[in-house]
Structures are given as C-alpha cells and as structure tokens.
C-alpha cells in the first residue's frame, strides 16, 4: 500500500492542463461522480484566438453531454466552402462552391467556429455545476509512478506522486505534494508530462509557413462568410468566418526570411505584412482591415505523434501533448476533446470497480491509431493547400479538381464522422451482419425516432447520452405481432435470470439500469404502438420505448432499420459504448453472446 505522508494531498484523478482536452476529461469525470482535480499554469482562462473549428462529430459528442446548445447559439456555422483560383484575366475567380461537410450521416452538417475561451467556458460551467473548478497558477515540478507491481495492479492505489508549485503563493508555501491514482497530462504541444515520461514525438516539420490574423475586414468578396480556399498567383489564403463579423485569415508567407532551424523568428513579420500579402491574393476583390487585430500568429506546419500515450495505464497524455498538425484542417481541438471523451468513462469504470485496469489500454490503442491517420491525411492536405495552383505557366500545379476531390474524399475524416475503432476486447465485429450498415467501431448513426408513449420525435443520439452507461438498443420489429412480442418476452426472461450479464455486472443495491440502459426501438406505427407492450423488465421508464416511424409533422423519421440494415423480423441488439460508439451487435436471442462479450470488459 502507498504510504501518504502527512500534509500531502490525495485525489483519484489529477488533470494537468485546462485546455479543451483537460476540461472535457474533468467534465466527464466530475459528472461520473469521480474525485477529480484539474490544475493549470495560466492565471486566467484563454481569451481569444487559438483553435477554432468544431467538427460535426465533436458537436455530436458535446451534445451527448447536453452541451451543444451554447455552441450552436454563440458560434458561427460554416456550411459552404468556396474555391477560388487564378482567372485567365488576372486575379482570382470562383471555380465553385461545395458543402463544407461532405459526411452524409452528420447530425450537424456544418462546422462551428467559436473562440477557444468560449468553448472552454462551456465545460468550466458544466464542471462547476459538479463543484469542480480549475486550480490556476500551478505548475508540476516532479512526477513519479510507483514501480511496485502490487501497487500498479491495484486500481485503487495512489500510484502516482506529483509535486506541484503554486506560483501565486509566498515562496515558502508554494510546494504541494499530491498522490493520485491516475494522472492526465493535457498540457499542450510542449507537454511537461510527456517530456517527464520521456515519450518521443515521431514525425517532422514541413517547410510551409503560415500567418493567421483574426479581424473584421471590409470587403466586396462575396465568400467572406464561407470557408474559402484561395489559390492565387500571389500565394494561398484561407478564409474562416467566425462569430459575429470576425474573420480568420490563414495566409501563406515566404518562409525563408522568418525561419531558422524550423523555428520562426516572429519579430521579422507583422500582421500588417500578412494583411498586405492577403490583399494581393484577393485581387480583383478589395479587402481592407480598418478594425482591431484581435489575435495573430505565425506557424510552421508540423505533423508529429507521441510514441506512447501512457505509462503503466497510470499516467496518460492527451490532446496536443500527443499530436501536432496543421490547424487548417481544423483538427487540433477536435482530436484533443475526443481523446479524453474516449478516456474519461474508462477511468470511471476502473475506479468504480466495474472494469479491470487493462480496459485503459484501449485508450492508446484507439486514439493513437486515429492520430496517425490524422497526420497522414494532414500531410496530403497541407501539401495540396500550400502548393502552387495549376495555371498555363505552371502545369504541375494543383488543379481545382484535385483540391476539390481531396476535400471531399477526406470529408469523413475532417468531419470526424468516419472515426473507426479497431477490434479489441471492447469492439467486437462478430455480428456485423445483423446491422449491415451500422459499422461496429463507429459512432451510432443519427436518425429520428418517435417516442411510443407520446409521439415526440427525437434523434436517436439523444437516447445514448455520455452518462458512463452501456446502452442496449433493442430492435424487435413490430411488437404488436405475436411473433415479435414473444421474442421480446423471451429476452426479458433471459435478462432477468440471475446468471445474465445484466444481473451479474450491475452492482447489488444499484438501480437495475445503473450499468446497462435498455431502450427499445420497434416498428409498430405510432398510431397503434402501446409502450405498455414492452415487458417491464425491459422498460425502466415510459420514455424507453420508441418506434421507427415518421414524425407526425412528416419529413423525417421511419428509416432506422433501413439505414442500419436491420431486419424487421430477425431484429438485433445493438450495444453502444458510453462514448457513443457501436461496440457489439447481438441477435435478439443473443444473451449468451452478450454474457461472453461483457465478461471480457466488466467485473462482477
């Protein structure tokens, strides 16, 4: 057992860094009732600039925490992308427009831009409802993980010792020693945690240098409120509209002058210089910058991934600490938040004693592969975007068609919708054939369903909130027919047996739906369906029965079975992980299979 000296602090999870990855993790853990502490070196929360675009999948994730509303309310929505290329008569002309998001199943088919401070505030408010605040002006100075196998294998042991320095206190009171069961390093691209663990970043920088400016321009450019990719003879530029009338411009600059050994000498360039470059690439449109520059920076594109994400499943790194890439693909903040969305429920399950500590291995397995895919995509995209446009005098340049094709091919990727987790103890593709189009390892495809008791239409994603529970979605077909009703009765019976996974893995004295939330989606028409036809053992509340029918107002709904590829007679049970990813599928009489599946990831 770990001896904790007098005067030292204890915490179940210590999070270092209150950026998007850190606050997402803290929110998830605080909501799960986990004892969590989050520290940050900054005195205040970030007030402008930095990351911008929220992808469609990230909006879905935020909504799974009930947090998408403020984002949708205060953020700018990017629906359309516009492409400008050199015109034969000089200057640029619009080659075309296309949907910014090309993932057909996206629930929110647009990106949202909102400054990072506002996004973090959404989480700070949510954490604060659970009594968790960020401890600020604190830096870690040392971190040690126990090497004792007995301690490392005890999920409740305080295996990590961290020394903190409180910057704002008098010198003699600055040091604090903290013992934590688990530590997350969400401390950015220059991560102290990563360096302390000696984890290398693999990959390299490119030669591309870009400037970024946030301001309100005056212009007659008709696509100033669209995501516009401009390839001109005078360089490349990207327009990202933001909240209010603010626009972010990404401006390609000649690198030779500013870069030495991959490091930018920012003193050699000014935002005025960037805006002059931009003005030239907008010709024949006029653009001027009469308003305040809210934020600006210069950066060299680099694409690198951490060699490991964890030490002994006790200390983890997430977000920019694990991966750096081009901001133009709008991936940074999204990848970061999705890292810890993947991690937090797993830590909660281990701390609750529901799962073995080995569950935490799936974090690196799933998220590091994603980061590598991201870097590979980013290399291709950044090269295309930074390359010279094709023109009469440059036939090797990048053509509009090439660029558009890349833009659309990578739609699933840039939207975050196509993220696919490979097979593991958690992800079992065995019964993929029972729901042919609902890929095991991907997020549950949004669809509108109608509630049996009151005909209220709702997106099926609303039935799988990020509340740390596994969701069992039952698809029994038409429950007004004796055949399908009987199958549901048999299932109720099997799940009620003392030997069933549901009874075994739900802690004694806990509510029946503490670990497994069961929701039925039938096909009985809304005018006829009775929610009372679903056996009580499968229905913890009247709101747990839905039907795959069009909403009363028409237009949407009634396409779940078809979209998922589920037979209305054979049916299926779809298992959705707490983070919203489909992790297994069983036949309606597949309780035995589910016993086996859950025995691989849950404890009694």
CB-wise, 293 or 453, nearer to its own copies? 453
242 is catalytic: yes
Catalytic residue among 108, 250, 309, 370: 250
Q: Distance (Å, rounded) from C-alpha 398 to C-alpha 602? A: 52
CA–CA separation, 559 vs 498, rounded Å? 36
484-488: which pairs have CB atoms within 8 A and are 24 or more residues apart? Answer: 484/522, 484/569, 484/571, 485/533, 487/571, 487/588, 487/589, 488/520, 488/534, 488/535, 488/538, 488/588
Q: What is the CB neighbour count within 10 angstroms for residue 337?
A: 29
For the chain, what is the radius of gyration of the CA atoms?
26
Nearer to its own copies by C-beta: 110 or 598?
110
State which residue, 78 or 126, has the beta carbon closest to its own copies: 78
52 catalytic, yes or no? yes
Instruction: In angstroms, give the least distance from the CB of 104 to its own copies.
Output: 9
The CB-of-285 to its own copies minimum distance in angstroms stands at: 9
| Spatial distance between the Cα atoms of 319 and 15, rounded to a whole number of angstroms | 12
| H-only helix segments in 288-360 | 332-351
Shortest distance in whole angstroms from residue 142 CB to its own copies:
47
CB-nearer residue toward its own copies: 133 or 532: 532
CB of 92 to its own copies, least distance (A): 14
Residue 242 or 325: the one with the smaller Cβ distance to its own copies is 242
Kindly state the smallest distance separating residue 223's Cβ from its own copies, in Å.
8
State the nearest-atom distance from the C-beta of 294 to its own copies, in Å: 19
Write the CB contacts of 39 (distance below 8 Å, at least 6 apart in sequence).
14, 15, 16, 17, 18, 134, 135, 136, 138, 140, 164
Cα torsion for 145, 148, 152, 155, to the nearest 10°?
-110
Integer Cα distance of 304 and 298 in angstroms: 18
Catalytic entry in 109, 271, 327, 578: 327
CB of 456 to its own copies, least distance (A): 5
| Closer Cβ to its own copies, 77 or 232, answer by number | 77
Query: CB of 345 within 8 A of CB of 359?
Result: no
CA-nearest of 414, 284, 425, 320 to 366 is 425
* Rounded least distance, CB 74 to its own copies, Å: 13
37, 194, 233, 242: the active-site residue: 242
Q: How far is the CB of 400 from its own copies (least distance, A)?
A: 15
CB-wise, 77 or 523, nearer to its own copies? 77
Helix ranges (DSSP H) in 53-142? 56-64, 68-74, 116-129
Helices then strands, counting H and E runs in the chain, come out as 15, 30
Closest listed residue to residue 264, CA positions, set 206, 196, 310: 206
Binding residues for its own copies (CB under 8 A): 69, 76-80, 96-97, 99, 109-110, 220-222, 224-226, 241, 245, 451, 453-457, 526-528, 530-533, 542, 551-553, 555-556
In the bound state with its own copies, the residue whose beta carbon lies nearer, of 110 and 289, is 110
Rounded to a whole number of angstroms, the minimum distance from the CB of residue 106 to its own copies is 8
**Half-sphere exposure at residue 220, Cβ-oriented, CA atoms within 13 angstroms:** 4
Q: Pick between residue 356 and residue 513 the one whose CB is nearest to its own copies.
A: 513
- The catalytic residue among 40, 52, 100, 517 is 52
Helix (H, G, I), strand (E, B) or coil at 310: strand
Which CB atom, from 149 or from 554, has the smaller least distance to its own copies? 554
Cα(500)–Cα(594) distance, rounded to whole angstroms? 9
Cβ 480 vs Cβ 524: under 8 Å = yes
**Does the CA dihedral 223-225-226-229 come out positive or negative?**
positive
The dihedral over CA atoms of 284, 290, 292, 294, expressed in degrees to the nearest 10, equals -10
Contacts of 330 (CB under 8 A, 6+ apart): 52, 53, 55, 111, 414
3 state SS of 403: helix
Q: Residue 259 in contact with residue 219, Cβ under 8 Å?
A: no
* DSSP string for 74-97: HSEEE-EEEEEEE-TTSSEEEEEE
Q: Is 250 a catalytic residue?
A: yes
| CB contact set of 152 (below 8 Å; sequence gap of 6+) | 145, 146, 159, 312, 314
Residue with tokens 């890349």: 406
User: How many CB atoms neighbour CB 387 within 10 A?
Assistant: 18
Nearer to its own copies, 420 or 559 (CB): 559
Supply the minimum distance, in Å, between the C-beta of residue 73 and its own copies: 8
What are the residue numbers of the active site? 52, 242, 250, 327
């Amino acid at each position: 057992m770990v001896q904790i000296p007098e005067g030292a602090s204890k915490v179940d999870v210590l999070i270092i860094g209150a950026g998007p990855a850190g606050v997402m993790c803290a929110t998830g853990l605080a909501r799960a009732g986990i004892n969590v502490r989050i520290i940050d070196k900054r005195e205040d929360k970030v007030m402008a600039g930095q990351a911008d675009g929220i992808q469609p999948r990230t909006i879905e994730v935020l909504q799974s925490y009930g947090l998408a509303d403020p984002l949708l309310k205060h953020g700018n929505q990017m629906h359309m992308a516009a492409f400008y290329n050199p015109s034969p008569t000089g200057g640029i002309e619009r080659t075309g427009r296309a949907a910014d998001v090309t993932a057909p199943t996206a629930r929110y088919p647009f990106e949202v831009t909102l400054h990072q401070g506002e996004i973090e505030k959404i989480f700070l408010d949510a954490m604060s409802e659970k009594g968790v605040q960020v401890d600020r002006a604190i830096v870690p100075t040392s971190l040690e993980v126990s090497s004792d196998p007995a301690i490392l294998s005890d999920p409740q042991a305080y295996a990590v010792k961290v020394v903190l320095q409180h910057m704002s206190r008098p010198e003699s009171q600055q040091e604090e020693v903290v013992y934590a069961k688990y530590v997350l390093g969400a401390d950015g691209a220059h991560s102290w945690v990563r360096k302390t663990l000696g984890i290398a970043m693999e990959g390299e920088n490119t030669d591309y240098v870009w400037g970024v400016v946030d301001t309100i321009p005056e212009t007659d450019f008709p696509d100033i409120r669209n995501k516009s990719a401009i390839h001109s003879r005078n360089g490349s530029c990207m327009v990202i509209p933001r909240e209010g009338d603010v626009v972010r411009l990404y401006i390609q600059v000649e690198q030779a002058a500013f870069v030495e050994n991959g490091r930018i000498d920012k003193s050699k360039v000014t935002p005025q210089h960037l805006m002059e470059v931009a003005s030239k690439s907008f010709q024949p449109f006029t653009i001027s910058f009469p308003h305040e520059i809210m934020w600006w920076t210069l950066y060299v594109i680099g694409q690198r991934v951490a060699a490991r994400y964890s030490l002994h499943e006790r200390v983890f790194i997430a977000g920019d600490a694990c991966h750096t890439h081009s901001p133009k693909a709008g991936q940074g903040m999204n990848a970061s938040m999705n890292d810890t969305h993947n991690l937090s429920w797993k830590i909660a399950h281990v701390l609750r004693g529901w799962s073995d500590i080995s569950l935490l291995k799936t974090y690196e397995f799933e998220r590091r592969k994603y980061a590598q895919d991201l870097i590979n995509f980013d290399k291709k995209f950044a090269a295309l975007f930074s390359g010279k446009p094709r023109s009469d005098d440059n036939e090797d340049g990048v053509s509009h068609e090439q660029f558009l094709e890349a833009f659309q091919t990578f739609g699933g990727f840039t939207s975050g919708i196509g993220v696919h987790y490979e097979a593991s103890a958690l992800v079992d593709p065995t019964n993929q054939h029972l729901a042919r189009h609902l890929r095991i390892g991907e997020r549950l495809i949004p669809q509108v369903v109608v509630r049996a008791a009151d005909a209220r239409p709702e997106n099926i994603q609303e039935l799988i909130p990020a509340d740390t529970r596994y969701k069992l979605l039952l698809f029994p077909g038409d429950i007004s027919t004796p055949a399908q009703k009987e199958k549901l009765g048999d299932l109720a019976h099997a799940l009620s047996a003392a030997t069933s996974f549901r009874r075994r893995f739900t802690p004694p004295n806990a509510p029946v739906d503490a670990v497994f939330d069961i929701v039925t989606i039938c096909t009985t028409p809304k005018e006829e369906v009775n929610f009372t036809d679903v056996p009580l053992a499968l229905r913890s509340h009247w709101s747990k029965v839905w039907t795959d029918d069009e909403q009363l107002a028409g237009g949407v709904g009634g396409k779940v079975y078809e979209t998922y590829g589920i037979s209305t007679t054979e049916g299926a049970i779809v298992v959705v992980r707490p983070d919203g990813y489909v992790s297994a599928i069983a036949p309606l009489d597949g309780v035995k299979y589910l016993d086996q599946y859950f025995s691989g990831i849950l404890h009694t």
